[in-house]
Amino acid sequence: MGLSDGVVRPGALRRTVNGLDLDVRVGWYRSLPLSSVRVFALEVDGAAVTPTFELDGATYTLDELPAFHDKWWFVQDPATLHLPVSTAKSAVRVELEIGWRIPYIVIGPETALVQRAHVDMELEVAA
Amino acid sequence: MIKTGSTLYAYTNEWRAGQYTLDEMIAKVAALNLGPGLEVVGFQSFKGFPHLTPDQIRNFRNALESNGLEPSCLGTNIDVALRSDRFLTEDEMVDYLAAQVKVARLLGYPVARIQIGATPGVIERIAPVAEKAGVKLGMELHAPEAATTPAIVAVRECYDRIGSEYLGFIPDFSATMTAVPRGMLDQFVRDGLPASLLPALVEIWSGDELPHVRFNRFAALAKEQGAEGPVVDQTRLAYTMFGHADPQGWREILDRVVHVHGKFYEIEDGTEPSIPYAELLGLLVEGGYDGVISSEWEGHAFATEHDVDAFALVGEHQEMCRTLLAAATSGGGQR
C-alpha cells in the first residue's frame, strides 16, 4: 500500500549475458542512504537468489550495503539488482522482500522505523 | 496577508513515478497557479542533498524566479539512524543540520523545517547558525505531537531559554483532525482488514491514550474477533499519522508560527471532511499570521497517481483555503 507501491514496476526485468537485471525503486518519499537498505528475501520462480546491487555505476554485495552511509539512493533513480539466474522463459515470477531503515523516525531506544515492501509479480523478461 | 503555496511533497506519487524532472514540476505548479509559495523536502527534490553544486542552486533559483514562485520553506531531516552501527552523536547531528540550513540560504529559503529529532541540545547549538544564515527554523508540530504535548512543551521552554527570533513552529494540521480519512479506512479493508472492525478502530482512535496504547487496544480487540498479523499491523498508521488534539491548542504557539503545513487527505464538496479548516484558518487570521500555507496532500499513503491527480486536488484545497480565509478576514473585521 502507498509508498510500497511502485518499488518494482512493469518492464523492470531484463535479460543480460549473466542472468537477469531487476530495477528496484526506493519505497519511501525521499532519498535514503545505502546503509538503510536490506534485502530480506528474493525468489525467482520459487528459487532463492542472492543478487548484487548496482547504483550510480558502483556494484555492492548485499553484505556491503550497511557500511555505505555516505552513498545515497536518490528517490527517482532505480537501483539494479543483478540476478544470477539462467532462464529461457519469457516471463518469471519475482518475489522480493526489501526494507529501508527510515533514519529520522525513531521508534524506540537506538531503534528506527523499518519500512518494508513485499513484491510478488509475474514479470516479462525484456531483451 | 496569508498566501497559498505548494509543497512538492504533495506530488510524491508523480515524483516517484518519474513523471517530472524538478524543473518540469516547478513549471507545472506555476502553470496551474498552485503557488505562489514553493516548498520542497531537501532529501526528496535534490539529488546529492545537502551537498548541492553551484549549477543545481542556480538552476533552482532561476526556475522559481522565471515561474513567479517564491521559496517558502525547505524541509530538513536529522537522520539520527544514518549509520548501521550506532546513532549519530550530538556533534554529528549539529553538523548534519547545519549543512542543510546553509544550503537553505543558498537556495533562497527564509525558513527551514526541523523536526522533533532536534533535541534541546541541538537547537541551542544550531540557533546561531540559523541567525547567521538568516534562515528561521520552524519545528514541525505533527501528529502524534501537538502544541501542548510534553515533548513540544519542552521545546517551547528551550525556545524561551534561548530567546532567538529565528526559532519558531510549523503547525501541521495532521495534529488536529476530527476523523480518520475515509480513503485510509478503505485501504485497510482492501488490504484485508475485516470491514466489521472499522467502527471499533475509529472509536478507539478518538480516545485520549497515547497512540501505541490505543493501537494495542485495537489489536487485542481485533484478535478476539479473529484478525491479526499484517492486516491489523497496518492500522498502526491511523493512530500515529492522525492526531485529534484540540485546534484551540494552537493558540499557545500562534505568535511563533513561521510557516504552515496545510495537511489534507480528501476534498469533498469543497471541504476537508477530516480536518476542521474553518476553525484552523480562523485561528491563523486571528493570530495575525501572514506567511504561506503549503497545501500538503498526504493521500499518497493510500492512493496512487492512477487513483488521484494530486495537482487537481491541491487546486481544490487552495480554493477552499481562499474561501475560508476571505470569510475569516471579513468576519473578524480585519482587512
Exposure string of A6-22, with b = 16+ CB inside 10 Å and e = fewer, is bbbbeebbebeeebbbb
CA distance B171 to B140: 6
Predicted structure pTM score: 0.96
> How much is the pLDDT for A108?
84
> How much is the pLDDT for A1?
62
| Cα-Cα-Cα-Cα dihedral sign, residues B263, B273, B190, B311 | negative
| Closest Cβ–Cβ partner in B49, B84, B234 for A35 | B84
Q: Best of A7, A26, A31 to disrupt the B interface by mutation (most B CBs within 10 Å)?
A: A31
> How much is the pLDDT for A4?
77
CA distance B172 to B181: 16
Judged against a pLDDT cut of 60, whether residue B55 lies above it is answered with: yes
> How much is the pLDDT for B22?
98
Quick check: B317 and B295 in contact, CB under 8 A? yes
Q: What percent of chain B has pLDDT over 70?
A: 99
CA distance B232 to A62: 31
ipTM exceeds 0.90:
yes
**Virtual torsion, Cα B25, B27, B33, B38, nearest 10 deg:** 60
- B301-317, pLDDT tens digit by residue? 999 999 999 999 999 99
Q: How many residues does chain B have?
A: 335
Return the residue of B nearest to A26 by Cα.
B16
Give the confidence band of B334 by pLDDT, cuts at 50, 70, 90.
very low
Closest-CA distance of chain A to residue B64, Å: 21
Q: How many residues does chain A have?
A: 127
Mean pLDDT of B187-211: 97
Asked if B16's CB is within 8 angstroms of A35's CB, the reply is no
Chain B residues whose CB is inside 8 A of the A69 CB are 82-84
What are the contacts of B315-320 at 24+ separation with CB within 8 A? B315/B32, B315/B33, B315/B34, B316/B267, B316/B270, B317/B262, B317/B264, B317/B267, B317/B272, B318/B4, B318/B34, B319/B270, B320/B267, B320/B270, B320/B271, B320/B272, B320/B277
Peptide bond into B36 cis (omega under 30): yes
